[in-house]
Structures are given as C-alpha cells and as structure tokens.
Amino acid sequence: MDDIFDSSLNLEEAHLKEGFDEGYKDGLGSGKEDGKQVGLKTGFEVGEELGFYKGCVDIWNSAIHVDPTQFSSRVQKGIKQMEELIEKYPIMEPENESVHEIMDSLRLKFRAVCASMGVKLEYNGYPKSSSVEKEKIMLKSMLGCCKVYISESRNRAALESIERAAKLFPKAPIINKFVDETYNRVGYTLVSKLDPQPSSDPCPLRTSVLAMVKAALESIDLELHSGSHPRLGIVDHICFHPLLSTSLDQAANIAKSLAADVGYGLQVPTFLYGAAHGEGRTLDTIRRELGYFKPNSSGNQWVGGLKQESLALKPDEGPPHVIPTKGVIVIGATRWVDNYNVPVFSTDLSAVRRIAKGVSGRGGGLPSVQAMALAHGETVIEVACNLLDPNNVRGDRVQLEVERLAKEEGISVGKGYFTDLSQEKIIQNYLKLDSALAEEFRFVIYHEHKNEMKAFQTQLYSVSLNSLPLGNIADGCSKSHCKDVITKDCEDKEPTDLGYNYDNENSSSFQQESGAAYLVPKHHQKLHWGLDTKERWERKANM
C-alpha cells in the first residue's frame, strides 16, 4: 500500500514538473514575442517623436542660416538647447535612466520655443506617461499673465504688504519682480490658469491683483512719492496678456472686470486701453491726455500727486475726480509687450530725447516701438522702450539703432536690459511652479547632525508648497549656509511669515524677499525653523 501511495505522489510530482516546464517554455516564447512587439512599438514611438523635434530644429536652423536675425537670441538659444537634447538622447540605450528626463526636457523646451515664436506646433504622437498627459494638458490650458506697475520701491513695508496680499491667492503666483529704486518703481508679473468657459468661480488672477491694488492704496501716499519715472497713480499701470491658447478677448474681459472693481469698489478713476477699450484706445493716448510725459519738478522728476482735480478725460470706471494721494489707474489688455531700456552715458537730455524719438515708430524710427528719455541717476539717461511687437522688432535691433543714433550725437551707450523675463521664461517658470501647486509632497527634513536626527529620522513633515521657486527647498538647518534661506527669528511668526530670498537667474536686480516661497505645515501649526537644540528638534518631530 505504501509503495502504491509513494508511486502516486511521484507520478503527480512528475506531471506537475512536466506541466510547469511546458508552460514555462510556452510562456517564455510568448513573453519574448510580446516583449519584442512592445519594444518595437516603444522604439517606433520614441523615434517618431524625436524625428518630429529634429525636423523642426532642422527647419529653424535653415531659416537662421538664411537670415540670422530671423529669430531672437532667446529663441535661437532654445533651438540650440533642443538640438543638444536630441543629440544627448541615448537611442541605443533604452534602459538608460536619463531617457525620461531628457524627453520631458525636450518636450517642455519645444513648447516654450513655439510659445516664444507665437506659433502653434504640436506633436500628436504617443504620450508616454500620465505625467506627459498632465504636461500636455497644462500646456494646452489657457494661461493669463498680468503685469502690475506700482509707484514705489523704497518703502519696504509697503512692498511687503502688497506681496503678502498676493500670497493669499497662491493659484496666481508672482512669477517675477523688478525693482528700480532710481525710478522709485516696482513691477510684478503674475500668472494663473483661466477657465475655458465662463464660470461663477472668481478668477484667481483678478482677485490676486485686486488684493495687491488695495494693499498698495492703503500703504502708499502718492503725495509723498518722487522719482524719475512718470506715473499717474500709486498703481500706475496694469496690463493683461494672453498666454498659450488664451484669446485676447479673454484677457480683456478680466481687465474690464478688474477695472469695475477698482473704479467703483476702491473709488479710483480707472481708464481702459487696448482690447479692454471699446475703440481700442492706446495706452500712450491716455497718458498724453493726462500729462503723463511732462515732469512736474526740476531735475526731470515727478513729485507728489496729480495736481488736476478735474480730469481731461472721463474715466471708464470710477469717480470723475482725483484723490491726490491715490491718483488714477490705467488698465488694459494687449498681446505680449517687452520693455527694453538702453543706458546712454550723458547728461544731455535734449540729445537723448532726439535718440529716443529717432528710435520710436512715432518719430519715424522702428515700427511698433515706443521710446522716451528718462534720467536714471546723475550721469545716465535711459532710452526706455516698449516693444509692442517683439516677435518682429526685438531688443537687439533696438540696441543697434540706439547705438547708431548715439554715435551721431557723439555719445557712448551701454548694454540694454529687459525689465521682465521673456514670455518663454515666464511660461516655463509657471509650469514648474504649477506642478508644485497641484499636489502636496512629503519631505523628510534631514539635519547635518545625524545623531540628533536618529531619534526621529522616520518622522515626516507634510508641507504645502504654496509657492516653489525652481526647486529650492530648504532643510531647516540652522548652519550658516542656510541663514540666507530660512528666517531664524521666527518664534512668534506664523508659518506663512517664514520665507527666503533668491536671485532670478536672468535679472541681477531681481530679488524677492520675505516670501518668494513659503513652507507651510499641512497641520498649520507653527514650525520653528532655525532652532538646532535636540529638544527643539524633537518638539518639531512630535508635533
């Protein structure tokens, strides 16, 4: 009986092994075939997408070869970076860990170059992952940009109040800030997504800008202001620009809605221009009517509030009379505009005015360029230019024309500069920022002192990245190298008061203080950064 039982077991095991071997063999063959098909399909998709980008780069390079001025230096730089990414892609090493990173960078660079050119090119091939789908959705989504120019740069408390107001609306973050203390003027650039269809939900871009305007009116007195840049009010100028697939009409609707809020809600005379005005009135037309270009003090300075109680133009929104401490506000919507200033080393204002007139389209110079001469310190006068069509007339062309005209006057010229990031860079920065705003990440806070961290090294701090500037995340260390990043004296401050500084890579004069970004605990308790005793670290870990 035992022999029969053992034989049965052995037979069953033999059949099991035989079946497994056959199944393994068949499965291996089938798996190889399936894998081959998947590999073939994946290789085809990657090759097709790379070929698309390579074709675009080749065409663009051919155009540059025929006419080197065809594209701006920024666009040419972007094309060159695309070419380098294509060459860098490890085609024969599909298992290389860098393939996804390179492809993602290439897709983003392609979109940014197209946006900068003002063309709509799109690869409609095979998306590789959910992250790519998300990126495509983001890039197809409608973005609105708003530039806010405020007549103040020396009153730090006022600027902090204005920036604090904007941070209450993290869906419309400040992407750039440009301060000019000589002009006593600051410019903010904000971006947010826009709803594709009319919505009852408030527009983040409008609400954020409105909060900034309100804070500015409450913290600045135009009667006490002076500077060498003309202005009509505390908040001198607000302009909305459509980005990506947004239409100019959509930007204009936001501008008109904001104008009503400012005019009647805040009781400030408000003028509309561009697409926001029924007849397309231009910005410079309003400014000329209201005496914007005429200094009201010696030394080519603008001092104090508007002297005229009764305005030469009827406001589109708000009261007909001016409050001297506030002035008026001009709000508009246009296609993208670049601001480019060229320093001229001279004190001869009349000569530099002739140069500015010769550069401007109104004076018979470059089409779509507006220019004026403004004193910028004691030994420099700037030719300040608005480039209304920067795709056709760029900063490099303005630079050459100013140099040519200055040479005729016997005056030397310095290298010009833009007062804001390029449209391409603004879109890039927002897309990076938006990915951080879209979801919460968990970070383990590491300290250099490993022994102190050992007791609670598994503790996680949940932080909402209300505003993440290009990936600079601080680790809470109180060492000297972190002093510029984390505010140490924060015992009595809320988490939203804890910020850090960083310099924008494209603008040496751009430094955003006290909150370009904030780390806010998910549980909204205080988090005392910069304290390095073991007890306090443990207190943090046990919150």
Supply the pLDDT for residue 72: 87
Residue 211 zone, left/alpha/beta (φ > 0; ψ -120 to 50; rest): alpha
Fold classified for 141-331: Formiminotransferase-cyclodeaminase; Chain B, domain 1 (3.30.990)
Type of residue numbered 268 = V
User: Does residue 329 sit in helix, strand or coil?
Assistant: strand
**pLDDT by 10-residue block (mean), the chain, 543 residues:** 54 62 60 54 71 85 81 89 89 76 87 82 60 52 93 97 96 97 97 83 94 98 96 98 93 97 96 97 96 89 84 93 95 98 97 98 96 96 97 96 98 97 91 60 31 34 32 36 34 34 31 31 31 37 40
- Which residues are part of the catalytic machinery? 229
Distance CA 247, CA 527 (A): 43
User: Does residue 58 sit in helix, strand or coil?
Assistant: helix
Supply the pLDDT for residue 10: 59
Nearest to 216 by CA among 163, 269, 270, 145: 163
Rounded to 5 degrees, what are φ and ψ at 341?
A: -115, 135
Supply the pLDDT for residue 71: 85
Kind and range of the H or E element at 38? Answer: helix 2-66
Contact between residue 145 and residue 151 where contact means Cβ atoms under 8 Å apart: no
Largest interatomic CA distance in the chain: 121
Supply the pLDDT for residue 27: 59
Could you give the dihedral angle defined by the CA atoms of residues 403, 407, 410 and 412, in that order, rounded to the nearest 10 degrees?
Answer: 30
Distance CA 486, CA 515 (A): 10
Q: How many CA atoms lie within 13 A of 282 on its CB side?
A: 8
Contact between residue 337 and residue 239 where contact means Cβ atoms under 8 Å apart: yes
CATH 3.30.70.670 fits 336-420, yes or no: yes
Residue keyed to tokens 């992250």: 131
Supply the pLDDT for residue 48: 78
Supply the pLDDT for residue 32: 54
Nearest to 228 by CA among 141, 322, 323, 341: 341
User: Does residue 139 sit in helix, strand or coil?
Assistant: helix
Supply the pLDDT for residue 324: 93
